[in-house]
Structure 1
């Protein structure tokens, strides 16, 4: 149930899809004020897949391309990009520009790029890309919301506690996940407190279930602590006399079945990848198995696509250690 590497990208994608308006309102209020929310938001997954096929491998991101309309009635495409990789990337701004330009070039649509940075580097906040030479100038500036900035002062923390938007809970969960990466007992306490608070903040049943799913995914616990948490959740059900826990238990059961299936898939992927590396470099690859076992399914898939580019065994080993 627990994992040494927390996998943040999938829960972020789920929340962007289900609560797009709330996300824009919370992180990018200027953009939210310019969108006509009476007209439907349409996600353009196939279109984004076309422009991202040649994107850099090895990144952990959650991207969503959506079609919206401005208050003046103009069609606009919005690319929300959540960067969940903890490693520093020097070419990040260039990648944002590349996505923006590819969408404009392929579909001839105006594109607004909005970026959420979920890493823990306080000084890393790229917000523009450009160059200039001999009077020729190219520039792209884009709004950036940095999650750790929500927790850097008492005022910002207080704002999170009081904010009614469910993304305040999302931010708190993500920050606590970062803060407790090496502290299972501290994570247990924080996770329980966040889940209990859901019942006291006025969220409806579906919102509680979705927020629970996000918290549960990004704040994974060792198996024994996970069992203890479920006992506490049962106590909450009895104490508050609220029906949501029954739904949560169903989610947990289904999640357990899915994770059991995925665990078998992951083990098979690790063994196959290890054999492929051994064949490519004609060297025993058993030492890589413990390192590969720490990676999420998406990270293993990325390494699997990328390892053919490796020029040496040491290079692929370095990629795995940095994933």
Structure 2
């Protein structure tokens, strides 16, 4: 449904700008939603969740899916009402959750490669960080007279609240992205150095060690794309919010081109994650009709096999094979 001038605060004299930006946001968010569903579907279907690194990607995709929903349901509001405040809170919560899951994936890879420690036991800690800290940060604007409110064509941190916008989101965001890029650069350096060293000592390492090194190189090749995807998705939103801060009054007074690029890229995290995930050669090899059909049939077969013993036990029909027949 097209907007009217009363809901188009940014360009009241040109409602078409609002409608174009709104449609762009919905299209980008819809593609991102499909990307999230794709990654979750592949991980579950082919049981990739049995591997710790894949479970981290799974939880990242779940967070990105929830974040995408915020961009889909987000609508312009005239005043700070309950729906607008909830939209702003939801967006802040899952924006931070996605960022923290990407950070945990980066830390996990650093710990595996550089420190050579297994980190499977840290999965619970990662959940506390990525959901718990995100929730606490999202609650902070509620403690100062409810900072959430209309922020353009969706609800977020209200017009003019630039200290909040940059203090709890954009500044920490790009600090963490910078740290992640530096970390991945160092991880790649360490792996290349070890590969060169191993090349001169062929036969000195076990098959398991060599297999582990190959797996780490594959993980780095795929996982290093997630911080890059996050940087791409948040570059134009940062530029747009800087412009908003420089010209804000009662409204953000955005430049149409920047606002459009913001609306197109901010919701794209799920789609970019899917593209990064598809870079995995082993994943691409399974994206055929035959592999998918086989996996679905196996999944259905296992579900049926699991149901029968429960049914038999309920009816007292379970028989146990033993030596005396």
Length-normalised TM-score, structure 2: 0.24
Structure with higher strand content: 1
* Structure with greater Cα Rg: 2
Length-normalised TM-score, structure 1: 0.24
